[in-house]
A and B are shown apart, each in its own frame.
Chain A
Amino acid sequence: MFFTAAGKLAPEAAQVSGDTPASAALGLLLQGPKTAGHLTEIPKGTQLQKIAITEHTAAVSFDPVFFSPGGASGVQLRLGQVVYTLTQFPEVTSVQFLRDGQTVGLIGEGFPLNRPLTRDAFASLQQS
């Protein structure tokens, strides 16, 4: 899973098993960080509604809590946490965010959520 530290994405290791490891990892991500110094930008109470992976795109539906407004860095990190966590798995290269099963236009400072996002969109948030 990817949490945050000092404004960047911070990886945290955990063992997941089962048929859908990406889904399991997302569940752990929502539970929050276990490492001291790590934080999460995912709003408290966010509910994962559905995750479906087809042809390397993970369609992830959250409840509206996930899409709460926030500052540029907070929102970018929030999206980056999910995208980086899911794209660790070879079956996922991009993530389409859905709110209550529907596509969302914009979030934060006018960031587009209408198309699947890859790690490229969050490259600035990687720890150097």
Chain B
Amino acid sequence: MPSRNLVRSLAVAALFLGNLCATPNVFAATTVAGQTIVIDPGHGGKDPGAIDNGIQEKTVTLAVGQQLATILQAEGANVILTRSSDVNPAPNGTVDDDLQARVSAAQQAHANAFLSIHANETADPNFSGATTFYGPACGFYSGTKLSPDDVGRSYSLAQKVQGAVVSRTHEHDAGVQNAAFWVLGNPGIPAILVETGFLSNKPEAGKLVDPSYQHLIADAIADGVNTFFASGDAAGTPPPAPSGALAGCSGTAAKDDRSQAQPVERWVQTIVAAPLLSGADANAKQFTVLAPFTYLKILDQKGDFFYVLNPAANSPGWVEAKKVGPSGPPPPAFQPFWVESFRPTQLWSGADGKAADFGPLPLWSYLRVLADPSGPRFYVQIADTGKVAYVNQADVGPSGAPPSSSSAQAASSKPAASAADKSAGAASASQPKAKAAAPPASSSVTVAAGDTLSGIAAQLGLTVADLIAANHLGPDGLITVGQQLALPGTIRSGTAAPKPSSGASTGVTIGSGDTLSAIAAKYGTSVQSLVSLNHLASADDIQAGQTLSIA
């Protein structure tokens, strides 16, 4: 391709001049020369990828990836392959580990581009051609979020590579597409996943295993990558990606690359019902009255008034400084949602393996997810008890619906042990039972002027929901200056895990027909805790008459 030969010559000239003038990379941004490029041949080892017409995807991806590496290296790029033989990058790991290893390779190398190579498959044997994927701003399993510029750069790279592959192969153009594939969640690095063609299309499958066609594809991808660096999108501001790729997470994208150069957004939250005024004067015309806890973006400040934007109504106005809390970062975009446990599961004090076991959660418990889940566990509030804990995501399903209004009210008023009672069935009132740790007598805080519920919660390591539940506040969480707020005993404040109220070293004698899981449920602990506490070989390693330590 003439244009690329020219680019290639310029690259060589740039390297030469660079060495001569001791100003390396002066032209490097226009070609792949000097760029660090991570090439990721998809699948490998125990993961064959798609299989069709007798061809395993992993063999095609490796062959094309290696040819692409050779081409880009010859053009002066610093190339890293995530695999160069038939292995998983994380050979003994899970699928997650394998995919994350590919992303990590790019992150550790501070790569300028990440190219994942794949081969496609569909039920339609006639469908053919390359497709190039780029990632959306959010929706990745890893919880990764991308800035609009990240998405725009990847989109630009995808378009250029897709265009080059279609024009060189003369195959059908299956288009540029957006999907939250794990490896495309690669913050700060233009990342694409090239589906080189369809193994399900017999003629195309035949070509994809032909080394000369593999070379053609690899050369075309290299063309597209060169065009991308020549376009300036890699370093400058890329054209925006289609809005669909940015949808669903406005305000939650990772910090934009340019954010450091821009003034930091400051927000305040109303602490009481606050009039939105036409001027910086208490007697100014009143536009509306903002509900307590409305988040407002600060546009300006004059005397004792903030000029703010109410994003919900997109209306600016003035608000008295004494009616809002301290300024802070933008409000979290996360919206709590409801899930329901669909199988018996454990509650945990934290998200990691070191977390304490809080005991079992009854089946079909309603849980409100309070924090943006970033790992395998949700941070939840249990509707029946108002308690907060962590629970494995895999053990709960979407409910969408909050529990019925009577049990929702019960969230803050029902005795904490009720859930444990229900699951244990036979637990009588005289039995020790799981109980939310009572707050220490001194654990209250007085609301001062300017305090917000979220501010208080953040200071104390609690959530707003914790405080609302502990103080029977209404759904709007209205607080007033001078009000005493009780602090819930929660895991966040370092309170110990729920224990039977009879204290440590409770002994229980096993009756005939007792099971460890029934005992665990009855005493608000878990089978696992009982096994380890009593040095049992397994959950079945008990017999009638034996005494078990509970706490």
Contact = CB atoms under 8 A, between A and B. Distances in A.
B511 interface: no
A55 interface: yes
Given A103-B397, A105-B95, A118-B248, A71 B181 contact: no
A73 interface: yes
Contacts of B127: 6-7, 73
B99 to A, nearest CB: 5
Given A54-B400, A71-B195, A103-B394, A112 B50 contact: no
Contact of A70 (B50, B118, B338, B343): B50
Interface string B384-420: 0000000001101111110000000000000000000
B121 A71 contact: yes
Interface in A84-128: 96, 98, 101-103, 105-106, 108-112, 114-116, 118, 120-121, 123-125
A98 B399 CA distance: 13
Contacts of A53: 400
A48 interface: no
A124 B242 CA distance: 10
A11 interface: no
B118 A109 contact: yes
A72 B200 CA distance: 12
Contacts of B400: 53-57, 59
B469 to A, nearest CB: 21
A114 B373 CA distance: 11
A115 B400 CA distance: 12
Interface stretch (B15-23, B133-141, B215-223, B448-456): B133-141
A125 B122 CA distance: 13
B177 interface: yes
Interface in B185-201: 193, 195, 198-200
Contact of B124 (A7, A72, A105): A7
A56 B141 CA distance: 22
Nearest to A103: B394
A5 B52 CA distance: 19
Given A54-B398, A55-B401, A71-B57, A106 B121 contact: no
B193 A116 contact: no
B162 interface: no
B183 interface: yes
Given A71-B119, A73-B120, A124-B177, A110 B183 contact: yes
Interface residues of B, number: 52
B27 interface: no
A76 interface: yes
Contacts of B99: 106, 110
Contacts of B119: 71
A28 to B, nearest CB: 18
Nearest to B125: A39
Given A6-B127, A121-B139, A73 B393 contact: no
A27 to B, nearest CB: 20
A54 B399 contact: yes
Given A72-B131, A112-B140, A120 B248 contact: yes
B280 interface: no
A116 B95 CA distance: 21
Nearest to A108: B181
Contacts of A55: 338, 399-401
A43 B119 CA distance: 19
A56 B118 CA distance: 35
A39 B124 contact: yes
Contact of A74 (B96, B121, B178): B121
B131 to A, nearest CB: 6
Contacts of A54: 398-401
A39 B123 contact: yes
A69 B139 CA distance: 21
Interface in B83-137: 95-96, 99, 118-124, 127, 131, 133, 136
B213 interface: no
B292 interface: no
Given A41-B122, A54-B401, A72-B133, A114 B393 contact: yes
A4 interface: yes
A8 to B, nearest CB: 9
Interface string B206-217: 000000000000
Of the listed residues A73, A77, A96, A120, the one surrounded by the most CB atoms of chain B closer than 10 A to its CB is A73
A23 interface: no
A109 B195 CA distance: 10
A120 B96 contact: no
B42 interface: yes
A93 B116 CA distance: 32
Interface of B: 42, 49-50, 52, 57, 95-96, 99, 118-124, 127, 131, 133, 136, 139-141, 174-183, 193, 195, 198-200, 242, 244, 247-248, 338, 342-343, 393-394, 396-401
| 3 residue pairs, one from A and one from B, having the closest CB atoms | A71-B121, A55-B400, A110-B182
Interface of A: 4, 6-7, 39-41, 53-57, 59, 69-74, 76-77, 96, 98, 101-103, 105-106, 108-112, 114-116, 118, 120-121, 123-125
Given A57-B400, A74-B120, A118-B248, 8 more contacts: A55-B399, A72-B131, A73-B195, A74-B50, A102-B394, A110-B141, A110-B181, A123-B242
